[in-house]
Amino acid sequence: MDTNQPVIVKRVKKIAAGHHGGAWKIAFADFAVAMMAFFLVMWLMSSATPEQKKAISGYFQDPLGFSTSASPYVIDLGGTPTPAPDRTLNPEVTEELMAGEQVLSIDDEKLAEQLEKARLDVLLLELQRKISENDDFQLYKDQVMMEMTRDGLRILITDAANRPMFDLGSARLQPYFEDVLYLMADTIRAVPNKISVGGHTDAKPYAGNGDFGNWELSASRANAARRALRSGGLAENKIARVAGYASAALFDKKNPYSPSNRRIDILVLTKRALQAIEGDSEAPVEDVQQGTDEAGPSSKPMRNKLNVFEKGVLQFEDV
C-alpha cells in the first residue's frame, strides 16, 4: 500500500435554523418605497387635468424646450386670470391701456428673439461637443466652421485639396462627408428652426459639355447635401430653401480657384429670417453665401470665425 496517498477530509458547515441575516429587510424596504412612489404617481395622474398632463409630458420629452411639443412652463397651477380691459370706459384710460399693451407686445417679441438666440447658442455648443468628441472627424477640423449671424447659426463646410466633399465635377458626396452631414442632421432636428442650404463652386469652368455648368453643379451639390440631411433624420418640412450659387460669391476672392470656394452653407434660420424667405416680412435676409474681402478672410458675416474641432474647445478668431 502506498503510504504517501493524500487523505481528503470533508467538513460540512451547519447553519443554525431560523437565522438568515438582515439582507431581506433592505430588499423589502426598497420594494415598499417603490410601491409607495408608484401609487403616488398613479394618484397624481388621476387627479391631473389634461393640460397639466400635456405640460408634464412635453417637459420630460424635451427638458430644454427644443421641440415644439415641449411646454415653456413647468406646470400650470391655474389661478384667476387678469380680466381684459373694458374699452367702453374713459377713452383716455383706454388709450393708455392700449399703449401699454403695445409696449408689452414689443417686449414679448424681444424676449422671444433672446430665447431663440439662446436656443441656437445651445445648438452650436452641442454640435461642437459632438464633433470634438468624435475622433473620426478630427481630420476635417480645418474644413468645418460655425458662427452666429443675424439670421441664425451658420455652418460652413469647405473643400480641401486632399479631402474633397464631392467627386470631381460631380454631385456625388464622399462617404466621410456624408457622416458629417448625418451628425449635423441628428443634432439640428432637435430644434424647431428651419434651415437653408446653399452650394458653391470655384471659378474654374465646368469641363463637361452641353448646358450643364457650375450653376447646375452647385445646385445639384446643394440638393445632394439636402438628401444627406434627410437621410440623417431631418424632416422634409424643416428645409426652407435650397440654392446653387456657382462661383458668384467666392469665399476666397484672392484665389478664385481655391478649394475653399467649393463649399456647402447650412443656415439654421431664425424666425425673422424665415419670414423674410417666405415673404411674410420685408426685413432683408443676410446673404449666407458671403465670401471674403480684399483684406483677407471674410469679415461679413464671418466676424467671429469658429473652428469647432480645435482641441474640443470653442475658439474664436477675430478677423
SS3 145: strand
Query: Checking DSSP bridges between strand 144-149 and strand 195-199, what pairing results, if any?
Result: unpaired
- Furthest-apart CA atoms within the chain: distance in Å: 126
Q: Which residues pair with 304 in a beta bridge?
A: 318
Task: Give, for all 319 residues of the chain, the pLDDT tens digit.
Answer: 556 777 776 776 665 555 556 778 888 888 889 898 888 888 877 877 777 777 777 767 766 554 544 444 444 445 444 454 454 545 655 565 565 555 556 667 788 888 888 889 999 998 888 888 888 888 887 888 999 999 999 999 999 888 899 988 889 999 888 988 998 999 999 899 999 999 999 988 887 767 788 899 999 999 999 999 999 999 999 999 999 999 888 888 899 999 889 999 999 999 999 999 888 655 555 554 454 443 333 434 343 333 333 333 333 333 3
113-318: CATH number: 3.30.1330.60
Element of type H or E holding 155 = strand 152-158
Question: Domain locations in the chain?
Answer: 113-318
Euclidean distance between CA atoms 82 and 28, whole angstroms: 51
Sequence-distant contacts of 164-173: CB under 8 A, at least 24 apart: 164/259, 164/262, 165/221, 165/262, 165/263, 165/264, 166/221, 166/224, 166/262, 169/206, 169/207, 169/208, 169/217, 171/217, 171/220, 171/221, 171/223, 171/224, 172/224, 173/224, 173/225, 173/228
pLDDT value of residue 227: 95
For residue 313, CA distances in Å to 3, 22, 126, 131, 152 come to: 76, 51, 12, 11, 21
Contact predicate 294/180, CB 8 Å = no
pLDDT value of residue 229: 95
pLDDT value of residue 306: 37
Contact predicate 250/263, CB 8 Å = no
pLDDT value of residue 3: 63
Contact predicate 233/266, CB 8 Å = no
pLDDT value of residue 285: 55
pLDDT value of residue 268: 95
Element of type H or E holding 75 = none
To the question of pTM greater than 0.85 for the whole model, the response is: no
Instruction: Show the cell assigned to 319.
Output: 478677423
pLDDT value of residue 243: 92
pLDDT value of residue 13: 63
pLDDT value of residue 318: 35
Place of cell 463649399: 263
